[in-house]
Amino acid sequence: MAWVTVECMALAIRATGLVKKYGDVVALDGLDLEVEQGTVMGLLGPNGAGKTTAVRVLTTLLRPDSGRAEVAGVDVLARPKELRRRIGVSGQYAAVDEHLTGFENLDMVGRLYHLGAGASRARARELLAQFDLAHAAERVVKGWSGGMRRRLDLAGALVARPPVLFLDEPTTGLDPRGRVGMWDVIEDLVRGGTTLLLTTQYLEEADRLADRIAVIDQGRVIALGTADELKSQVGGERIEVVVSTEEQLEPARREAALLCIDQPSVDERDRRVTVPVAGGTRDLVELLGRLDRAGIEVLEAGLRRPTLDDVFMSLTGHHAEAEQAGEVSDDPDDSDDSDDSEGVA
């Protein structure tokens, strides 16, 4: 029965009721997820939401306490080795061998996929060229930059041309230029028809790359849909006004509260008031009039559609990107946090 459903809906990933606990910490709390073939699913959530745990379970690296999952038509728990032939994984930390050269890394991966010596070598060269790493092919990875390692790791995930690909925070730790470069690479891949599950803490990234977004928080999906659907779920548009002094923030907020459909939010550092409204430009004109009459000086004003951050705010009561301070480096020596845990049976 389950098989038939998978075929009909052409699901590349289906997870039901995944639970994973680390002692008292519930990393996955009954996670359900469906990803259609050939689409990009963005798993969006702050640090500690359970994104990495979800990816590790779906890629056979971690056994869940309960729940089921099928990826590329293969039962993850029952036939892990079979599944590994059909997926590519690029984790949050680059899984590359720093004492090997770029070429040797990919060649080794090819051989371990049992592609054969000739095909492994050819594929390694091809990927090094595709990821703009050909110039470093014969250099030991130890001296490479974080961005280069990241690209090599992604290339490693693609060696066997897997139909389903998992990328765990592919741009975390990259500088803005590296991030845009990685986005281009990922968009190219997806154009080729690969199903992609992508995790990210960056709203902008999910918005740009994903067809559908699953917002996850504390180990479960709290909202699901396209970026537009999620935005309209929040309802209305946002007026943003920046006032000239801090003292004017509170009176501005009070004026705004009179016409908005939800509570306005205040950003003290930027002296900005954000107001969800239903009436669009009419409300903007109305609010500006009120502020003017109240003697509040407005430096900037505008109307925008809700962003994913607004979505997160209204779903969870906190910002999605609040915890960015602890941004991780992609030093390959950092082992993944789940590698070395104590007290895990």
Partner 1 sequence: MSAVAEAVSDAAVITRRNLRKILRVPDVLVFTTLSPIMFVLLFAYVFGGAIGTQDTGVGYREFLIAGVFTQTVVFGSTFTGYSLAEDLQKGIIDRFRSLPMSTSSVVVGRTVSDIGINVVSLFVMSVTGLIVGWRIRTSVLEAVAAYVLILLFAFAISWIMAAVALTVRTPEVVNNASFIVIFPLTFCANTFVSTSTLPGPLETFANWNPVSSVTQAARELFGNVDPDAPVPDAWPMQHPEVYTLIWVVIILVVFVPLSIRLYQRAASR
| Number of residues binding to partner 1, judged by CB under 8 A | 42
Specify the DSSP class assigned to residue 242: E
307 is an interface residue for Mg ion by CB under 5 A: no
**Rounded Cα distance, 345 and 320, in Å:** 32
Neighbours of 86 (CB within 10 A): 16
Strands 212-217, 40-44: parallel, antiparallel or unpaired by DSSP?
parallel
Quick one: 152 or 249, whose CB is closer to partner 1? 152
Quick one: 53 or 314, whose CB is closer to ligand ADP? 53
Strands 40-44, 195-200: parallel, antiparallel or unpaired by DSSP?
parallel
Among 19, 26, 108, 222, binds partner 1 (CB under 8 A): 108
**Rounded Cα distance, 210 and 190, in Å:** 10
Among positions 246-305, residues that touch ligand ADP (CB under 6 A) are none
Choose the stretch contacting Mg ion; rule: CB under 5 A; options: 50-58, 229-237, 283-291, 318-326: 50-58
Per-residue string for binding with ligand ADP, 31-70, x by CB under 6 A?
A: --------------x-xxxxxxx-----------------
Minimum CB separation of residue 146 from ligand ADP in Å reads: 18
Give the contacts of 290 (CB within 8 A, at least 6 positions apart). Answer: 255, 258, 259
| Secondary structure (H, E, C), 143-180 | HCCHHHHHHHHHHHHHCCCCCEEEEECCCCCCCHHHHH
Minimum CB separation of residue 48 from Mg ion in Å reads: 8
- Please give the residue ranges that form the binding site for partner 1 (CB under 8 A): 59-63, 81-82, 84-85, 87-89, 91, 93-100, 104, 108-109, 111-114, 140, 153, 156-157, 332-336, 338-341, 344
- Please give the residue ranges that form the binding site for ligand ADP (CB under 6 A): 22, 25, 27, 45, 47-53, 337-338, 341
